[in-house]
Structure 1
Amino acid sequence: MKRTRTLRPWWESAAAYQIYPRSFKDSNGDGVGDLQGIISKLPYLSELGIDLIWICPIYTSPNDDNGYDISDYQNIQREYGTMEDFEELLHKAHERGIRVIMDLVINHTSSSHPWFIESRSSIHNSKRDWYIWKDGKDNKEPNNWESIFGGSAWEYDEKTGQYFLHVFGKTMPDINWENTQVKRAIFDMICWWLDKGIDGFRVDAISHIKKPDFNDMPNPKNERYVSSFDKHMNQPGIMDLLRELKENTFSKYDIFTVAEANGARIEEIDEWVSQEKGIFHSLFQFDHLNLWNVESEEGKISIKKLKSALTRWQKAVSADGNVALVMENHDLVRSVSRFGSPDKYWKESAKCLALMYYMQKGVPFIYQGQELGMLNADYNSHLDFRDAPTLFGYQERINKGMSPEESLEVLKKSTRDNSRTPMQWDDSPHGGFTTGTPWIKVNQNYHWLNAKAQIKDEDSILNFYKKIIKIKKETVGLIYGDYELLMEESENVYAYTRTYEDKTYLIVCNISEENSQLEVDLDITKADILISNYADINSNEKVLRPFECRLYSL
């Protein structure tokens, strides 16, 4: 039976773009990106072909974790602008046909949030149970859980003599999702934003909201604190909470939602994202991005494992399900620095990686600067970095015996600041990001790696992204087609097909610095090549050059 495209939702064919506002564009010279800066770059996003922007948190925050520690959900952080600025952004984006989704951070708040200030004021306060408080055990923390940011997941409050839970930073207390009143307050806040006319949410860290028990983690190495993911990530009972969230908020609006769902299991995919019974429209999964051992000598990634990780999710998602396609975000290093060849084949590898992930089934997200092939930060001192967990980890490694130089090398490869350096707009000071002093140092390659230069260059990475965005939007089979992996055992080549009704497309990507052989049981002699990153190519050529990619229409 043929699928009825007229019933398909708009977001299935959308091109999405993630904005980290602090580093996107500064309009007033204070060194911090802002809402007026985003407004000024809407023409750039339109020209790229973007339909949807996800803006990282812009709510009022002490900025202990760059906005993911929220102290007021219904006000705008002053350095980003005003609510009027946001409403102007929303209006002008909609005028251009660009939808806007916001970051929804509801696993925790800031310790400066009025809810938490009340909660910690007294064990008898009406909001005490809005957060997770426990007595200590043997003059220590309630259990041996380690926070995701390092150190204990518990912080002692001297005034009330109890500990509060924070699975992230110690100024980011976890909300108690078993409390009806705080859930009601969260639901009301969500609907308040949706009534303003935003187009949905990217839901942060949502797989951590369920904590069934608070028992110690097994500790065979007798560590002081033990990684605690197994106690708070995608735990039994979470679906009941998520269904309640959806029924009271999302289901009432025509919006798009995408979940950051660490730990979501493939066998549960339909519960998360199918249109029939799923909670969200799409989700981010990071199996393919968790393959890199940054502390190994080379940090080399197995392309076979990369293919396997991506294929598992492509094959698992049902016909009406969806996964978000992602290679970069604000928590990850730059994809060309991780998977590509930043020195020898920078342009080729950036284009190859783009085609590899973009043509799979799902909503593709482009992180700011990814479309330029931006690279990891080129910092030579830990003093250049701003990310709190990064600096904590740097000192922890030194405390455990690593030299400062060795710890810095690990930091340079893994820090979240690699993707948080300012957007490189042109070759003017600070890459055109600001006329002031940037909050974090600009990558010094902005003199040659910038948007202005690439707009003029027909062969640029930016113009390659424009082309693949256009091709996918206009090609039904690349939106809805079934996915099939080819050349599964190849150590270098990622090849797959997308088939819709009687039409097949072949995507081949040589993710290596050496020539590789294309070996597929398909007749490509008369196939059309819709796009490639090498100019001198014919459809029958079976040798793939370093980081060569091709999209065939068979």
Structure 2
Amino acid sequence: MTLEQTATTTVDTAPWWTSAVVYQIYPRSFADSNGDGVGDLNGITSRLDHLERLGVDVIWLSPVYASPHADNGYDISDYRAIDPAFGTLEDFDRLLAETHARGMKLVMDLVVNHTSDEHPWFVESRSSRHNPKRDWYWWRPPREGFEAGRPGAEPTNWESFFSGPTWTLDETTGEYYLHLFAPKQPDLNWENPEVRHAVYEMMRWWLDRGVDGFRMDVINLISKDPALPDGATTGTGGLGDGFPHYGTGPRIHEFLREMHREVFEGRSGELLTVGEMPGVTWEDARLFTDPRRRELDMVFQFEHVSLDHGPGGKFDPRPLDLRDLKASLGRWQTGLGEVGWNSLYWNNHDQPRVVSRFGDDGRYWRESATALATVLHLHRGTPYVYQGEELGMTNAPFAGVHEMRDIESLNHYAEAVAAGNEPESVLRGLRAMGRDNARTPVQWDASPNAGFTTGRPWIAVNPNHTWLNAQAQYDDPNSVFNHYRRLIELRHALPVIARGDFRMLLADEPYLYAYERTLDDDRLLVVANLGGTPQIAALDGDWSAADLLLSNVGEPPVVNGRISLEPWSAHVFLK
């Protein structure tokens, strides 16, 4: 059966985003139009032809709002203004119009668990204990029996995601405010209906401007247990794990249903809502994405990108056991198979580059980049491509902490070294897992600074841009870029990819990743060798007469159900 015949066998009545692919842009590192070394909106507009050529359907734009940039834009001081580093509202409107003109949608990043401490809401809130906006944030007096500012006086023992306590003393009012992330990112109090409706009004303002939806940053953290109890002590300076008291909290479903009702219901057009949700299970996600509940279209979960974290956490990485990865992704495929929807991703602005993390960025760079892409994209769910992933960009060779920019990495380094850890050992963890790996500039060509900027880039360009770049890949039929393009074409063309059932195969094999997708009479087989030695996949059934739709290394020998696989090879069959 040909690709064209298969594409017409079933009328696709599923939501539009089941056959769509999303591309994430981290604006600071995408393209710089004015030579100041920081990517901007006009730079993005100038590179839209790249995304149209790739074939993606949706652009997700990481925050471009006004911000002091304590956390690279995830600390927002004005939700309705564009940060001057990125341009103006007019520049944004031009980008939006040019995106729509190319048949693509644009989704904004929504960061409403917290604001910047420079946001006018917080400036008012901290001005007086009696200010009308005092209750827009979480304020608490010192712990009973402790003097404000003394160790242990924090209202709870929770540890911040960025190291240290989650509470900072405000000297003016003598009380502490809550920040799950950096001290310059105070948490909004969603228990206050005025806060919620101010957020909804802002969201409607952006939708009225023409944006096509939101990716919602750590949205499952917005509902806290109002009692704010202590967490179990983790052993780090007496600090504790508060996550059970604010992760997927008691009113989260109520808040998201209210948001849907107040913001999205009744709007025409094809909108997308995606919730980033650390710590959620597939059972949680099934509730969040059940269309009958009217909460979210899909969630971002972190289970599969935590499997290589060692006993010391993310900066203590261990080799990935592929069987664990298959068990995790397979569990989500099955759990959300009949109700709900998956987001599929390897990379984003918070994760190291997948070809360096789970692949082989040396001898088998191209093969492993394309094999990992093949395995991910043909699952059931909406794939996300993070900028540069479609080129096979790798982790960066940071010489030392002085070349890093991320607050999480810098804080961890300072804390770990102060605790007596060997600096080089700490650096090894940061080089492998630090967020700056995802934030080096996109590699457009072999020129100085990779065509990203004519100035000095805010973070160093990876030196391998002289051979690893977009310009070198466009006309190479075997390039990583063109492999991603073909994967996207397959999702657009084949209903079995968008809507078919999923069955994991060879679950106990340590190097092989194989699964079937089925819809009506169509059967799609994806089989890959995610290792550096040849393997043989012994499968049920005869696949020797099936059509080979896609391969990253050429047609493999197939004898009945036995397929010979070269290192880091991936193949897609249809029958």
Secondary structure at the counterpart of residue 219 of structure 1: strand
Q: Which residue of 2 aligns with 1:372?
A: 391
Structure 2: how far apart are the matches of 1:41 and 1:447?
19
1:351 aligned onto 2:370 = yes
Deviation at 1:8, TM superposition (A): 2.3
Structure 2: how far apart are the matches of 1:118 and 1:130?
10
Q: Which residue of 2 aligns with 1:54?
A: 60
Deviation at 1:448, TM superposition (A): 0.5
Q: Which residue of 1 aligns with 2:138?
A: 132
Structure 2: how far apart are the matches of 1:89 and 1:505?
38
Matches within 5 A, 1:324-339: 324-339=343-358
Q: Which residue of 1 aligns with 2:21?
A: 15
- After superposition, the Cα gap between the structure-2 partners of 1:220 and 1:537, relative to the gap in structure 1 and judged at 3 Å, is closer
Q: Which residue of 2 aligns with 1:166?
A: 179
Q: Which residue of 1 aligns with 2:538?
A: 519
In terms of mean alpha carbon deviation, does 315-324 or 177-186 score higher?
Answer: 315-324
Deviation at 1:269, TM superposition (A): 2.7
Deviation at 1:218, TM superposition (A): 2.2
Any idea what the Cα deviations from partners look like across 1:149-169, whole Å, max 9, x if unmatched? 110000000000000000011
1:144 aligned onto 2:157 = yes
Q: Which residue of 2 aligns with 1:184?
A: 197
Secondary structure at the counterpart of residue 276 of structure 1: helix
Matches within 5 A, 1:123-522: 123-137=129-143, 138-139=146-147, 140-212=153-225, 213-219=227-233, 221=235, 223-253=237-267, 254=269, 255-293=271-309, 299-319=318-338, 321-522=340-541
Any idea what the Cα deviations from partners look like across 1:335-363, whole Å, max 9, x if unmatched? 01110011121010000000000000111
In terms of mean alpha carbon deviation, does 240-249 or 95-104 score higher?
Answer: 240-249
The 8 Å contact of residues 145 and 227 in structure 1, kept in 2 or not, is answered as yes
Question: Following TM superposition, where does structure 1 have runs of at least 4 consecutive aligned residues deviating by more than 3 angstroms?
Answer: 3-7, 220-223, 294-298, 538-541
Structure 2: how far apart are the matches of 1:542 and 1:47?
33
Any gaps of 5 or more consecutive residues in structure 1? none
Q: Which residue of 1 aligns with 2:3?
A: none
The 8 Å contact of residues 528 and 539 in structure 1, kept in 2 or not, is answered as no
Deviation at 1:539, TM superposition (A): 4.0
Secondary structure at the counterpart of residue 85 of structure 2: helix
- After superposition, the Cα gap between the structure-2 partners of 1:548 and 1:220, relative to the gap in structure 1 and judged at 3 Å, is closer
Deviation at 1:229, TM superposition (A): 1.5
Deviation at 1:237, TM superposition (A): 2.4
Structure 1: how far apart are the matches of 2:389 and 2:35?
24
Q: Which residue of 2 aligns with 1:68?
A: 74
Structure 1: how far apart are the matches of 2:439 and 2:344?
20
Matches within 5 A, 1:42-121: 42-121=48-127
The 8 Å contact of residues 308 and 317 in structure 2, kept in 1 or not, is answered as no
Secondary structure at the counterpart of residue 80 of structure 1: coil
The 8 Å contact of residues 317 and 429 in structure 2, kept in 1 or not, is answered as no
Structure 2: how far apart are the matches of 1:175 and 1:536?
55
Secondary structure at the counterpart of residue 39 of structure 1: helix
- After superposition, the Cα gap between the structure-2 partners of 1:220 and 1:402, relative to the gap in structure 1 and judged at 3 Å, is closer
- After superposition, the Cα gap between the structure-2 partners of 1:95 and 1:222, relative to the gap in structure 1 and judged at 3 Å, is closer
Structure 1: how far apart are the matches of 2:382 and 2:234?
42
Structure 2: how far apart are the matches of 1:187 and 1:551?
44
Any idea what the Cα deviations from partners look like across 1:4-51, whole Å, max 9, x if unmatched? 845322221111100000000001100000111111111110010011
The 8 Å contact of residues 472 and 478 in structure 1, kept in 2 or not, is answered as yes
Deviation at 1:278, TM superposition (A): 4.2
Structure 1: how far apart are the matches of 2:211 and 2:563?
48
Query: What amino acid does structure 1 have at the position aligned with 2:123?
Result: I
The 8 Å contact of residues 16 and 52 in structure 1, kept in 2 or not, is answered as yes
The 8 Å contact of residues 148 and 227 in structure 1, kept in 2 or not, is answered as no
The 8 Å contact of residues 527 and 539 in structure 1, kept in 2 or not, is answered as no
Q: Which residue of 1 aligns with 2:567?
A: 546
Deviation at 1:298, TM superposition (A): 7.0
- After superposition, the Cα gap between the structure-2 partners of 1:220 and 1:10, relative to the gap in structure 1 and judged at 3 Å, is closer
Any idea what the Cα deviations from partners look like across 1:174-222, whole Å, max 9, x if unmatched? 0000001111111100000011111000000001011113111122748
Query: What amino acid does structure 2 have at the position aligned with 1:165?
Result: L
Structure 2: how far apart are the matches of 1:549 and 1:4?
27
The 8 Å contact of residues 477 and 505 in structure 1, kept in 2 or not, is answered as yes
Query: What amino acid does structure 2 have at the position aligned with 1:79?
Result: A
Structure 1: how far apart are the matches of 2:479 and 2:90?
37
The 8 Å contact of residues 234 and 241 in structure 2, kept in 1 or not, is answered as no
- After superposition, the Cα gap between the structure-2 partners of 1:457 and 1:439, relative to the gap in structure 1 and judged at 3 Å, is same
Query: What amino acid does structure 2 have at the position aligned with 1:33?
Result: G
The 8 Å contact of residues 556 and 564 in structure 2, kept in 1 or not, is answered as no
Any gaps of 5 or more consecutive residues in structure 2? 1-8, 148-152
Secondary structure at the counterpart of residue 235 of structure 1: coil
Deviation at 1:517, TM superposition (A): 1.7
Deviation at 1:242, TM superposition (A): 1.4
- After superposition, the Cα gap between the structure-2 partners of 1:222 and 1:338, relative to the gap in structure 1 and judged at 3 Å, is closer
Structure 2: how far apart are the matches of 1:142 and 1:269?
31
TM-score, length of structure 1 as denominator length: 0.97
Structure 2: how far apart are the matches of 1:453 and 1:218?
52
Any idea what the Cα deviations from partners look like across 1:56-91, whole Å, max 9, x if unmatched? 000000000000000000000001111001001111
Deviation at 1:523, TM superposition (A): 1.1
Percent of residue pairs bearing the same amino acid type: 43
The 8 Å contact of residues 203 and 263 in structure 2, kept in 1 or not, is answered as yes
Query: What amino acid does structure 2 have at the position aligned with 1:238?
Result: I
